[in-house]
Structure 1
Amino acid sequence: MEIFKLLKTNPLLSVSLALLLLFSGIVLFATEFSYNAIESASLWVRNYFGYFYLYLGLGCVLFLFAIALSPIGRIRLGSKDSRPEYSSWSWIAMLYSAGMGAGILLRAVQEPVFMQQHPPYSSTLSPDILALEFTFYQWGFTAWAFYGLFAMVIGYALFVKKKKVRVSASIEDSITNPLARNGIDIITILTTVFGLIAAIALGTAQIKGGINHLTGNDFGLGTMLLLAVFISLLAFYSAWQGVNKGIKVISQINILVALSLLLYIFSTSDITAILSVFTKATIQYLIDFLPMSLAYGPYDPGIAFLTDWTFYYWAFWLAWAPFTGIFIARISKGRTLRQMVLGVLLVPSIGTFFWFSVFGTSAFQLIEGWGGYHSEFDSVFSSLFVFFGNYPLASALNIITLFLLIGFLVTSLDSAVFVLSMFTDQGRKTPAKSHRLLWSVFILFTIMALLWLSSAKPEIDILIVVQKVLIITSLPFALFMVVMTGIFLRNVLRKH
């Protein structure tokens, strides 16, 4: 009964759920039409706004560094005498697990190898260095700048101006139209849900691929549905427990396990080669960051490559930015803007660079030892498990990776459920458990419906459809980000 009361008295919640159900119904009953429409719309966004995304990404990076190094960076998220609510270790573990934990497992080997085998542009650099440099580019400063900008603006509104936890709170003093503000929050909710569905569905597909690889069987839809239920139940329990007792604990476990996996591969591979490639690729990334960000001259991979990779990544990071940024803001109370911005930009980027250097360099050496490449690492779902097959304790590594994938998916889902609940529970920092239950159940059923539809319509890749929906919904955020940043800067300069 309480759920029905919530829906009746909460327009933001009821409208968001109604729109999500409407979209799901259209996809379910008009699948082919929906696929074609989404495909056309996503290509239109990338073709006409792809370069705008590039320039926006570079602008976000430069703007955040400028804020961090300016006197504005001394502004504290909270009262002047407040101190960070979470330790640096807990803070980094939570922001990284929420932001892109499962992604680095999905792409650890596949993406560096793809870039090595298909260089984005002609270069005097060795294929190995260029491959890692471009991988760094797609997972580095720009991705975290999208997250960091939202975190900074929302954190300032939340802890300095004492606003509610909503994206619209960042502009409500300047844009007073309630329809406009509610529209921003509804789009945020829709995009967050689509992002979660894509992430969990892809994650369960990788876990199923790992199980099939380990057992030699061909498990199908039933296994993926059971995995979705298991992950959702763990995420619901974590979100029910809250940030301190649930999300923080699982995030710390994730990072410890990921670091153990990383150190094992690092210590059993060519350490000297990895450190050399990591150093060279990182330095080259810093040198080439500006022209790469502008796709300028010889650094232009061409529209086809950009559309398939960089434009897609930028749209994906943009689509995840509001939810991830809000969560980072929520756990950043007591930090200065300088501490938060530099922490978000630098720490996860450097960690990601080292991660890809270890796995990428080790994969390059395996290929060299084989005397050629025959598509062993082409699949994002099985490449990491194939890679581990060349190392001692391969079975243990694969099992650990499966549990780590589940852990990262749980922390992405539980933090998103918590953010969605804050949104729909009047912007409260600690939302009611009824909201957490409602969102957990709704997302679980949506994921299960998507997986079932993907199996029922094998001729149409439903998972790709959901990812392309993110590209479409990222466009309003890209445009809104410019407005939001301008209003934030004006407010800060007036008050400080």
Structure 2
Amino acid sequence: MSQSTDAPPTADAGGAAAETGSTAEPQTRVNWTVFIGSAVGILAIATWAIIDTAGAEAVIGSLVTWVSTNMGWYYFLVVTLVVIFVLVIALTRVGSTKLGPDHSKPQFNLFTWASMLFAAGIGIDLMFFSVSEPVTQYLAPPQGDGATAEAARQALVLTLFHYGITGWALYALMGLALGYFAYRHNLPLSIRSALYPIFGKKIDGPLGHGVDIAALLGTIFGIATSLGIGVVQLNYGLKLMFGLPENQSVQIGLIVVAVVMATASTLSGVEKGIRRLAELNVILALGLMVFILVNGRTAFMLDGIIQNTGDVLSRFPGMTLDTFAYDRPGDWLQGWTLFFWAWWIAWAPFVGLFLARISRGRTIRQFILGTLMVPFAFILLFISIFGNSALDIVMNGNAAFGEVAMAQPERAFYGLLEQYPAAPLIIGIATFTGLLFYVTSADSGALVMANFTSHLKDASSDGAKWLRVFWAAVTGLLTLAMLTVGGVTTLQNATIIMGLPLSILLLFIMLGLYRALRIENSLTDSYRASLPGIISGRSAEGTASRNWKQRLTRAMSYPGPRQANRFVDEVALPALQEVHDELQAQGADVTLGTAVVETCGIRHVDLHVGLGGERSFKYQIYPVQYETPSYAPGNAALDPKYYRMEVFSLEGSHSYDLAGYSKEQVITDVLDHYETHLEFLHLNRSEPGNTALIDDQTTKDNWESDFPLQEETK
């Protein structure tokens, strides 16, 4: 893991923690309103499905028929808007904004990050549909004749369309909203936080609880659908390997095993259990892909990969709004595209929160493009290799395999593997890989649902362990209940229904993000238009210039704790005290604070100016530790660490060092920042009260607490 921690928590934009109005260390605790409301709802649905199987099946069937008949256009419109929205954000200048303060860095390297987002965002259903869907779409396409060359091309395009950019855009939107508001503004890592720019403090009441409950209900049905698909597929795999029967008893056993494994994994946390399972998952999946590619018709599959890529790129714009208005293919739309869009929407809160949890420090552009491209590149290879391999078998006369893939899709993946050498060994590896996919979906889901039903002490913490165990068990129970009602089809139908209210939530999230990112753009404009020297840290240097020897001395200085404290006592604190006194004399709501950073013994100095309901002004001088470079002269090279006295605002570090500045230069720098902040408020004068995403008192309360030093190595 490539890890670099950030400088002080006070540097986070918004400057507030989840717990407000208190200097006591916050603690993670259960959100009983959301927990009880969601738990009662889920247990009631599960109990109803088990007791009144026929009635539950009839109600779910009638509801999904109404949704697919009357709201299909709406699903298509919403997901298309999401794709456009996230791409515009990623490709415009606001994409350079970080999910966190400006100085923050990613916690995980690219491979680990991509592995976790892929394993969480796609479960065992990829193995299920990578063979069964291409064969089904080839033999029974929604339009045109089946078993033709065009049907083969369209079969792969449809499968990749259902597993492609649209779904990952939904994940990217939710993850972006959660990560931005949590890490940039220190709001709670929950769905309700994304609605703060619209509803303000109302999100702390019934409105927020209702949003979180709805998100959790949709999430658990989405996960249960994947687990239900996984159960029937793994059941068949175990039949091939050990002769176990395909029945409900074995499926219950598989659910129990998954719950136990998911519990063990989720109790280990993100950095250990979930991370390691995700990495192993991807490695095994890659191994299966290479095996099929090498042992099958390699040239044909490589040709297919290239053509499938071109077809998806060229046909995607038309497909994303194709509602089949003039030639609706029976129940096809309901069973395929509408189901997939609702399924992705249902998974979006779960995967989005998990993605936000592992993405602090990445820019918005990195996050969105990485979420869209990295997993889809893997999916494109996986589906192209397995899908084209399956089509090759059917097109060369194996009609029996095609019939099985259509009628019993849980057998399709294993049926393909049986066509290759060393089938028993490969089937065993595939079953183990599927089990890992199954478990990573369950453990990530349990962790996220525990977080949904908790007041987290900070965005990097997780819900209580007993809560994770509870949600792992409830997910297993719901999966069993839905399988009892009508198997995978009922799970799919329930997902379409639960996706409808969540899709409305997506529209509000886009509006909230739009408002917040407009403020972010305006803040950037104010820095660029007012004083460009602030960005480089040179504005104060030019005001009271020193001779060249003094400048050279400063450039070659690598101060330790003693020199840093001398700078605070003799320069930084007196300079900020003068600014504080003058601001106070002119009637400003100003606070000056200083405290010792315990881990290094150096003081930080903080100036805060309250501006009513608008975004408050913050100027902080804080010691940031670095490794002393090998080229440091003299005695400085003997100390492995040195300290830069960096300037922080609400957005994070401005990445320049004040050590060596005079008192007058520091005062000039403070005023440069203050005037720039006032320029920012001026640019937003047409929308008063919208520059602050959290109230000013929260910022002020948290400003006055002590903060530990966090090392940053360069």
- CA displacement at 1:217 relative to structure 2: 4.8
Q: Give matches, 1:405-416, under 5 Å.
A: 405-416=434-445
Q: Partners in 2 of 1:47 and 1:276 — Cα distance?
A: 39
Instruction: Indicate whether 1:156 and 2:180 are aligned.
Output: yes
Partner of 2:125: 103
Deviations 1:364-414 (CA, angstroms, capped at 9, x unpaired): 221233364551322221111111111001001111111111101111111
Taking the aligned partners of 1:372 and 1:225, their CA distance within structure 2 comes to 33
Please tell me whether the aligned partners of residues 89 and 365 of structure 2 are also in contact (alpha carbons under 8 angstroms): yes
- Give runs of aligned pairs for residues 69-80 of structure 1, distance below 5 A: 69-80=91-102
Secondary structure in 1 matching 2:189 = coil
- Cα distance in 1 for partners of 2:154, 2:398 equals 20
Is residue 493 from structure 1 mapped to residue 493 from structure 2 by the alignment?
no
Q: Tell me the amino acid that sits aligned with residue 407 of structure 1.
A: L
CA contact (8 A) 1:151 1:326 kept: yes
**2:497: which partner in 1?**
472
Match of 2:139 in 1: 117
Partner of 1:35: 57
Tell me what 1:183 maps to.
210
Change (3 A) 1:207 1:173: same
How far, CA to CA, are the matches of 1:366 and 1:463 in structure 2? Answer: 26
- Identify the structure with the greater strand proportion: 2
Q: Which residue of 2 aligns with 1:384?
A: 413
Q: 2:285 aligns with which of 246, 249, 258?
A: 258
Q: Deviations over 1:412-457 (max 9, x none)?
A: 1111111111111214532222222222333344445555xx2xxx
Residue in structure 2 matched with residue 439 of structure 1 by the alignment: 471
Q: Which amino acid aligns with 2:232?
A: A
Report the secondary structure of 1:295's partner residue. Answer: coil
1:360 to 364, 383, 387: 387
Residue number in structure 2 paired with 1:229: 256
CA-to-aligned-CA distance 1:168-219 (integer Å, 9 cap, x gap) = 1110342243222111101111122222222222211111111223345524
Match of 2:270 in 1: 243
Displacement of 1:462: 4.3
Deviation at 1:31, TM superposition (A): 2.2
Give the equivalent residue in structure 2 for 1:3: none
Q: Which runs of 5+ in 1 are unaligned?
A: 1-5, 455-459
Structure 1 residue 316 corresponds to structure 2 residue 340: no
- Structure 1 window deviating more from structure 2 (303-312 vs 342-351): it is 303-312
- Partner in structure 1 of residue 171 of structure 2: 147
Tell me the residue number matched to 2:21: none
Contact 2:125 2:229 in 1 (8 A): no
Q: What code does the residue aligned with 2:453 have? A: T
Asked if the contact 2:72/2:323 (under 8 Å) is kept, the reply is no
Is the Cα contact below 8 Å between 2:301 and 2:388 reproduced in 1?
A: yes
Task: Name the structure with the higher helix share.
Answer: 1
User: Partners of 2:261 and 2:270 in 1: how far apart?
Assistant: 14
TM-score where L is the length of structure 1: 0.92
> Which is greater in Rg?
2
Three-state SS of the structure 1 residue aligned to 2:251 is helix
Structure 1 position 59 matched with structure 2 position 86 = no
CA 1:350–1:426 in 2, change beyond 3 Å: closer, same or farther?
same
Match of 1:130 among 154, 158, 161: 154
Task: Name the structure 2 match of 1:21.
Answer: 43
Kindly indicate whether the alpha-carbon contact (under 8 Å) linking 1:137 and 1:285 is maintained by their aligned counterparts in 2: yes
Q: How many residues align?
A: 483
Which residue among 274, 298, 307 is the counterpart of 1:280? 307
Contact 2:342/2:500 (CA < 8 Å) preserved in 1? yes
Question: Once the 2 structures are TM-superposed, how far is the Cα of residue 300 of structure 1 from its aligned partner?
Answer: 6.6
1:424 aligns with 2:473: no
Given residue 318 of structure 1, which amino acid in structure 2 is its aligned partner?
A: I
Q: Conserved in 2, the CA contact under 8 Å of 1:172 and 1:181?
A: no
1:167 aligns with 2:196: no
TM-superposed CA distance for 1:135, in Å, is 1.1
Equivalent positions of 1:197-208 (< 5 A) are: 197-208=224-235
TM-score (norm 2): 0.65
Classify 1:305/1:466 alpha carbon distance in 2 versus 1 (closer, same or farther; 3 Å).
Answer: closer
State the distance in 2 between where 1:330 and 1:479 align: 24
Deviation at 1:267, TM superposition (A): 1.0
Q: Residues of 2 paired with 1:490 and 1:322: CA distance?
A: 20
Structure 2 residue runs of 5 or longer lacking an equivalent are 1-28, 522-714
Greater mean alpha carbon deviation, residues 424-433 or residues 11-20 = 424-433
**Which residue is 1:483 aligned to?**
508
**Corresponding letter in the other structure for 2:175:** A
Kept in 2, the 8 Å contact 1:295–1:301? The answer is no
Tell me: CA distance 1:300–1:341, structure 2 relative to 1, closer, same or farther (3 Å): farther
| Whole-angstrom distance in 2 between the partners of 1:130 and 1:191 | 31
Cα contact 1:213–1:382 (8 A) shared by 2 = no
C-alpha separation between the residues in 2 aligned to 1:125 and 1:347?
29
Q: For residues 102-141 of structure 1, give each alpha carbon's deviation from its aligned partner in whole angstroms, at most 9, with x where no partner exists.
A: 1111112111111111223349963222211111111100
RMSD across aligned positions (CA): 2.1
> Could you say which residue in structure 2 is the equivalent of 1:401?
430
